């Protein structure tokens, strides 16, 4: 074997080693982004779970208020309509595979949830005008559960944003950004509440 052949084999070995290292890094980077994207989707699933918990409580709350204030028809119907709109859209497997559609869904869901929270606040304000209703144990229990749901929603939204932060950091960092661009990993938006919607509705039943 000539010196040139030995040199050639050496270069080939170096190239192979470099390709193995680069390939290993690319695979690791890709798998890392898949993991972070799964974390984002799981976090959003938890947001949806607490959304659903609040929505499930609303029919009982509306019926309880209706028993004492049936003539508050506009507010009662607004809450019912808001809940119906929220329940009309669902996160499907197809949406999870389409970043643009998933982002659109998240924004739509956030808007609907903020509208629901607004009508719920109106309903609780109406309740303050009826002393007998404020003293009703069923209403007090429902109100407490809904306040608990609001707190859970804020908690899960924060966890979702943290998952998005970790995902975006990985996707946008160089050189992993190259793999992200080639593999369809796109930056995700953070959840942003409408102004004034970050706090759970508060009703003072001591009045």
Q: Does 206 map to a domain?
A: no
Task: Quote the pLDDT of residue 52.
Answer: 86
Q: Does 45 map to a domain?
A: yes
Q: Does 148 map to a domain?
A: yes
Contact 135, 144 (CB under 8 A): no
Task: Quote the pLDDT of residue 35.
Answer: 92
Q: Does 188 map to a domain?
A: no
- Residue corresponding to tokens 């508050």: 72
Q: What is the largest CA-CA distance in the chain?
A: 102
Contact 85, 112 (CB under 8 A): yes
Cα separation, 35 vs 29, whole angstroms: 10
10-residue averages of pLDDT along the chain (207 residues): 66 82 85 90 86 88 90 89 80 65 76 86 88 90 89 90 92 88 84 51 40
Q: Does 204 map to a domain?
A: no
Domain residue limits at 24: 3-183
Contact 89, 112 (CB under 8 A): yes
Instruction: Look over the chain and give the mean of its residue pLDDT values, rounded to a whole number.
Output: 81
Domain tally for the chain? 1
Instruction: Kindly report the length of the chain.
Output: 207
DSSP 97-127: T-HHHHHHHHHHHHHHHHHHHHHHHHHHHHH
Question: Nearest CA to 160 among 189, 117, 199, 195?
Answer: 189
Task: Quote the pLDDT of residue 95.
Answer: 65
CATH of the domain at 133: 1.20.1440.20
First and final C-alpha spacing in the chain:
98
Q: Does 200 map to a domain?
A: no
**Total-model pTM:** 0.71
Q: Does 100 map to a domain?
A: yes
Task: Quote the pLDDT of residue 204.
Answer: 41
Q: Does 125 map to a domain?
A: yes
Contact 89, 147 (CB under 8 A): no
Task: Quote the pLDDT of residue 203.
Answer: 40
pLDDT per residue as tens digits for the range 92-138: 656 666 667 777 777 787 788 888 888 888 888 888 889 998 889 99
Cα separation, 66 vs 138, whole angstroms: 13
């Amino acid at each position: 074997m000539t010196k040139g052949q030995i040199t050639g084999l050496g270069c080939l070995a170096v190239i192979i080693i470099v390709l193995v290292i680069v390939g290993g890094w690319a695979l690791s980077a890709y798998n890392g982004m898949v993991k972070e994207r799964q974390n984002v989707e799981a976090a959003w699933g938890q947001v949806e779970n607490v959304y659903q918990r609040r929505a499930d409580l609303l029919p009982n709350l509306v019926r309880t208020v209706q028993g004492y204030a049936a003539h508050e028809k506009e507010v009662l119907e607004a809450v019912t309509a808001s809940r119906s709109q929220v329940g009309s859209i669902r996160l499907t497997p197809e949406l999870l595979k389409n970043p643009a559609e998933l982002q659109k869904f998240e924004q739509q869901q956030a808007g609907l949830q903020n509208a629901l929270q607004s009508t719920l606040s109106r309903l609780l304000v109406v309740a303050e005008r009826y002393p007998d209703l404020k003293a009703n144990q069923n209403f007090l229990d429902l109100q407490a559960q809904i306040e608990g749901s609001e707190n859970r929603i804020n908690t899960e939204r924060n966890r979702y944003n943290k998952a998005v932060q970790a995902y975006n950091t990985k996707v946008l960092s160089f050189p992993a950004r190259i793999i992200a661009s080639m593999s369809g990993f796109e930056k995700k938006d953070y959840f942003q509440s409408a102004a004034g919607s970050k706090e759970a509705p508060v009703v003072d039943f001591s009045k």
